[in-house]
Amino acid sequence: MVSSFKPTRILRDSTDTNTAKKVSASTYVERGTASFRAKFASFCFGAVVAGVAGYIQLQKDVTTAIDDTKVLLSTLQTNTMVLGARIQDLEKRFENIEISYDVQHLTQPAQ
C-alpha cells in the first residue's frame, strides 16, 4: 500500500556543504522494494524453471524405466517360452528312453 504522505530527506553533496538535494524517503523504500521484488521474481522464475525441468526429466526417466521394464518382460516371456519348449523336448526324450528301456528289458531273455 502506498501512502500519499512522502517524507523528504536532505542529502548533501560531499564536496559542497551548502548544496542540498531533496529526495523523497519513499524513493529508498521503492528502490528497496523493487530490488526485493526483482530478486524474488527472479528466484520464483528460477524455481519454476527448475521445477518444470525436473518434472520433464522425471517424466523422461519414468518413460525410460517403463520401456526398460517392457523389454525385460518381453525377454522374460521369450525365455519362459524357450524353457517350456525345452522341458517338453526333454519330456519326450525321457519317454523315448523309458520306452526303449522297457522294450530292451522285455526282449532280453531272462537269465
Cβ proximity of 20 and 12 under 8 Å: yes
* pTM (whole model) above 0.75: no
DSSP code at position 18? T
| Secondary structure (3-state) at 45 | helix
41-93 tens-digit pLDDT:
999 999 999 999 999 999 999 999 999 999 999 999 999 999 999 999 999 99
25-32 long-range CB contacts below 8 Å, 24 or more apart? 26/2
**26: region left, alpha or beta (phi > 0 left; psi from -120 to 50 alpha):** alpha
Judged on CB neighbours under 10 Å (0-12, 13-18, 19+), 26 is: middle
Say what the pLDDT of residue 84 is.
Answer: 95
